[in-house]
Amino acid sequence: MATLLHIDASIQGEGSISRQLTARAASAWRAAHPDGVVTYRDLGADPVPHFDSAANLSRGLPPDQHTPAQAESWALITELVGEVAAADTVLLGLPIYNYGAPSAVKSWVDHLIVPGLSIDPETREGLLGGRDFVVIVSRGGGYAEGAPRHGWDHATAWLPHGVALTGLEPRFITTELTLAPVNPAMAELVPMYEESRRQAEAAIDELWAPAVANA
């Protein structure tokens, strides 16, 4: 049975553009997989804790040697890796905060780097490859080529490297200038934002369109 892991990370609530776009993508996925299963995780409302010493040590000890703190961390690690391993498609909403990824997304990625679960300890081959990893990026400003802050989006540049050891390979759909409608100083950029969002929505609608057409 087809399974989607849908992850949101925005702290903006219902006004979040990334949440609106991942909801659109999840709806498109359901249309293509009417008998599929969706697992949802909200890193904005219920963030994964930072990867601390207990989590780190839990990866190198047998479970029967874990302290209570290490056992708790290990349970979360196995849950997070298990969610990805059980999914055919992973859908992540990635808003850009202070030119980088939300800290909850960084923590989620850190918990996925686990020899024996997501990485073969002998060959170092990633064990989570072979599934679709769709990332919906929402950027408040303009970072495209030619913009004054081109290259300042460090989240999109980092994520492929962050998950590389696991075998996951993200493909990105991006909308930018999302602050234009609410920031008077960016009012003249509203048409550019609207076009960027239109293109993102069109790309989302095409993700599983062949499956719907052949259903």
Long-range CB pairs of 21-26 (<8 Å, 24+ gap) are 21/93, 21/136, 21/138, 21/173, 21/175, 21/200, 21/201, 21/204, 22/91, 22/92, 22/93, 22/136, 24/201, 24/204, 24/205, 25/91, 25/134, 25/136, 25/173, 25/204, 25/207, 26/91
Q: What percent of the chain has pLDDT over 90?
A: 93
pLDDT confidence of 210, banded at 50, 70, 90?
A: confident
What are the phi and psi torsion angles at 170 (to 5°)? -75, 145
* Residues 82-122 pLDDT 10s: 999 999 999 999 999 999 999 999 999 999 999 999 999 99
**Amino acid residing at 135:** V
The position carrying tokens 């029967």 is: 64
pLDDT for position 211:
62
pLDDT for position 215:
56
Average pLDDT over residues 48-76: 96
pLDDT for position 212:
58
Topology of domain 3-213 in CATH is Rossmann fold (3.40.50)
CA-based torsion, 204, 143, 45, 70: positive or negative: positive
Task: State the pTM of this model.
Answer: 0.94
Q: First CA to last CA across the chain, in angstroms?
A: 15
For residue 79, give Cα distances in angstroms to 86, 137, 186. Answer: 10, 25, 42
User: Is the predicted pLDDT of residue 213 greater than 60, yes or no?
Assistant: no
Q: Do 91 and 22 meet the contact criterion of CB atoms below 8 Å apart?
A: yes
Could you tell me the residue ranges of all domains in the chain?
3-213
